[in-house]
Amino acid sequence: MNRQATNGGHADGTVGKALDVMDRVAAKGRPARFAELLAESDHPKATLYRLLQTLTSQGMLIYDETRQTYAPGLRLVRLAHAAWQQSSLAPIARPFVDALSKQVGETIHLAQMDQGQVLYVDKRNARRPVEMFSEAGKIGPGYCTGVGKAMLAFLPPDDREKAVNMQSFFAHTSRTLTTPEALTQELAAIRAAGISFDREEHEQGIICIAAPILSSARRVMGGLSITASTQRNTLDGLARLRPALTETAHKIAGAAENWQFPD
Amino acid sequence: MNRQATNGGHADGTVGKALDVMDRVAAKGRPARFAELLAESDHPKATLYRLLQTLTSQGMLIYDETRQTYAPGLRLVRLAHAAWQQSSLAPIARPFVDALSKQVGETIHLAQMDQGQVLYVDKRNARRPVEMFSEAGKIGPGYCTGVGKAMLAFLPPDDREKAVNMQSFFAHTSRTLTTPEALTQELAAIRAAGISFDREEHEQGIICIAAPILSSARRVMGGLSITASTQRNTLDGLARLRPALTETAHKIAGAAENWQFPD
DNA sequence: TCAGAGAGTTCCACATATTGAAACTCAATT
DNA sequence: AATTGAGTTTCAATATGTGGAACTCTCTGA
């Protein structure tokens, strides 16, 4: 057997299998029955059964006896709190994101790359107060969002190619880029421009301008975007926010690089 | 070997051990070195090493090569999003919590029990906008918080006793209850009153009134609290909010029981 | 009322993944 | 050059996990 180095694919060891199952349950988006999971899984009945039992006994899953369904457990929420605090840009970026939010008055997203997808780690909404986990922790596609493209564009060539091929292209709107070639070309343009736009590629009527957050060594640390609806703003209007956006991105990068956990 | 039935203690199987390690890393609250973890762990060097490798390759941990430290990984944030949405009361309770927040204008906490501790799943802050994960996902002690005591009080006797003995009593303030006996007595009083108070037991100057969220079968689903500082309010003042608090708790319970995931 | 189907659970001989003492590498000290 | 300590690798022993098959329920329909 081989042992995956950087993950991306799946399953090394029992732990890997168990976590695969976790992912599957989480991905369902609602409590799942044993049979459902069995159908999608390539594990034999008994194996899957035992994995579910183990995960449940560990609090990683919650089993609803009356409905006979499995759902992700609260232990995850606990663990994620630590992850968000320690490993995401959000805590460090907060003051800068706050400031940007106040300044531009539009919706702000702070995101990081996770397995070729966009993982939103923080958000400021123009109107309603922050929407907790329902936004932080949410994932989005890499190929048709502003932050996604901004981050992909500045990945090292190999990683970028790998990530591009990991995308599962779907035409959310008529403007969505739906081929690796189109995306690759767009990414080159973004690299040249230093900034990316979402021209209603993900959702009709939603546009955004996004910038990568790059370390001094030009490593992609995350992405930052300003989103608006076509009713309230235009691409040109967003383009005018570019200085504020990139400046904030730089500040975040600087803060993140200098950050050391207090001894 | 035995196989733990309901968790609470630890480690069944390899998966259990791996998750133990996860917990340890998360608990450190900052990136941890191998040696640190080794010192605290009762696994031999090589074993711990492999577990860390597996977890890292799975994205459950992030390894910082230059500093040689492990931290919880972003994969957790993703999984937790699903957990929070599906298994916590927060999404269902949101409208009610919003309404209560608007009505009373003080800080609101929505919490659930997790391994004898209080896990905050949502929060509304009177002044500043919500503080994201830094609050949702945070854990607190069960024996000296309003929500903690409210939930403990209404647990079935056996579970309650177990939970009481799971508390690691520490005198945060001069008013903290520091013995199982004192707590048990307080819980009886709370059960009689139907409501609990935190009389600066956890933090000097912070008081709160809390109610359990009970299913129609009287199972504890969670807890809801209104918090204030002694500068802004008094216990009597909070006591006047009791109707609003309990009514909201009832509404949440009702909504949660009727909730079905759409087919 | 009873056969049949489907979901969930248990069993156990077998195979593999996990174990951990010990040996090793690679700095940083002394 | 010798020493120490952190981190990494090896490998035989074996504890753990595997999965086909058999079993138990609980429905469903004749």
Partner-chain residue, chosen from B13, B74, B79, that has the shortest CB–CB distance to A112: B74
* Residue A66 shares a structural domain with residue A117: no
Q: For residues A217 and B238, what is the distance between their CA atoms, to the nearest angstrom?
A: 54
In a domain, B82, yes or no: no
- Chain A contacts in chain B segment 62-121 (CB below 8 A): 62, 71-88, 90-91, 112, 114-115, 119, 121
pLDDT at A4: 31
pLDDT (average), residues B91-115: 93
Question: What is the domain count for chain B?
Answer: 2
pLDDT of A239 > 50? The answer is yes
pLDDT (average), residues A246-252: 97
Q: How confident is the model at residue B166 (pLDDT cuts 50, 70, 90)?
A: very high
* B47 CA, C19 C1': Å apart: 7
* Residue B110 shares a structural domain with residue B190: yes
User: Tokens at residue B67, please?
Assistant: 């500093």
pLDDT of A11 > 70? The answer is no
In a domain, A4, yes or no: no
Strand duo A139-140 + A32-33: pairing: unpaired
User: Tokens at residue B104, please?
Assistant: 């009373």
Average pLDDT over all residues of chain A: 89
In a domain, A161, yes or no: yes
Dump pLDDT digits (tens) for A100-151: 999 999 999 999 998 889 999 998 887 654 444 557 888 999 999 999 999 9
Q: For residues B113 and B166, what is the distance between their CA atoms, to the nearest angstrom?
A: 12
In chain B, residues 42 through 101 whose Cβ sits under 7 angstroms from any atom of nucleic acid strand D: 45-46, 49-50, 68
CB contact under 8 A, B133 and A90: yes
Q: For residues B62 and A85, what is the distance between their CA atoms, to the nearest angstrom?
A: 13
* Residue A120 shares a structural domain with residue A41: no
pLDDT (average), residues A196-214: 96
Closest nucleotide to A33 by C1' from CA: C7
Dump pLDDT digits (tens) for B18-37: 999 999 999 888 899 999 99
CB contact under 8 A, B130 and A130: yes
CATH of the domain at B37: 1.10.10.10
Report the range of poorest mean pLDDT among A1-15, A57-71, A91-105, A183-197: A1-15
In 3D, which of B160, B170, B178, B98 has the Cα closest to residue B130? B98
Contact B68, B36 (CB under 8 A): no
- The residue with greater pLDDT, A263 or A226, is A226
Q: For residues B18 and B41, what is the distance between their CA atoms, to the nearest angstrom?
A: 11
Question: CB under 8 Å to B36, separation ≥6 — which residues?
Answer: B28
Q: For residues A10 and B136, what is the distance between their CA atoms, to the nearest angstrom?
A: 30
Amino acid at A73: G
Q: What range defines the domain where residue A41 resides?
A: 13-73
* Residue A97 shares a structural domain with residue A36: no
Q: How confident is the model at residue B42 (pLDDT cuts 50, 70, 90)?
A: confident
CATH of the domain at B167: 3.30.450.40
* Residue A232 shares a structural domain with residue A139: yes
* Residue B135 shares a structural domain with residue B56: no
* Residue B27 shares a structural domain with residue B54: yes
